[in-house]
Amino acid sequence: MVLVTLNVPQRGLHPIEAARAWHLHNDDGMSFRDIRLEVVNMLKQVPSVKAVFTAVRSVDAVQGTKAMPQYGYSRCGILPPSCKVRAAAHGSVSSTPRARGASPVT
């Protein structure tokens, strides 16, 4: 089971409110001062302009990327444990890591 943890400061915006602030800024063209009156922070208060700006910037950073980090197991030459189990079922895994570009041991 995957557990995703998200730490949000009390004076920061909840991710849903951050998405709403992003929509108001980019799609509706509102200023950060006007947006702060439309959203609330984690304490259910009016957030600061800086909190709204940071929330909109964080949503912009995630746009077009995958939110979960990609680890690049395909490039390291070592299979992760879940792939070893699947590969072992097919009989195509060796117990030693191989060099990049080397042919698999059969």
Give per-residue pLDDT as tens, 41-50. Answer: 999 999 999 9
Residues 6 or more apart whose Cβ sits within 8 Å of residue 55: 12, 13, 17, 18, 21, 22, 47
What distance in Å separates the CA atoms of residue 41 and residue 52, rounded to the nearest whole number? 9
What distance in Å separates the CA atoms of residue 83 and residue 68, rounded to the nearest whole number? 19
Residue 93 in this model has a pLDDT that exceeds 80: no
Query: Of 63, 1, 67, 75, which is closest to residue 26 (Cα–Cα)?
Result: 63
The whole model's pTM is what? 0.58
Tokens of 26: 């980019």
pLDDT in tens, 61-85: 877 665 555 556 556 665 555 555 5
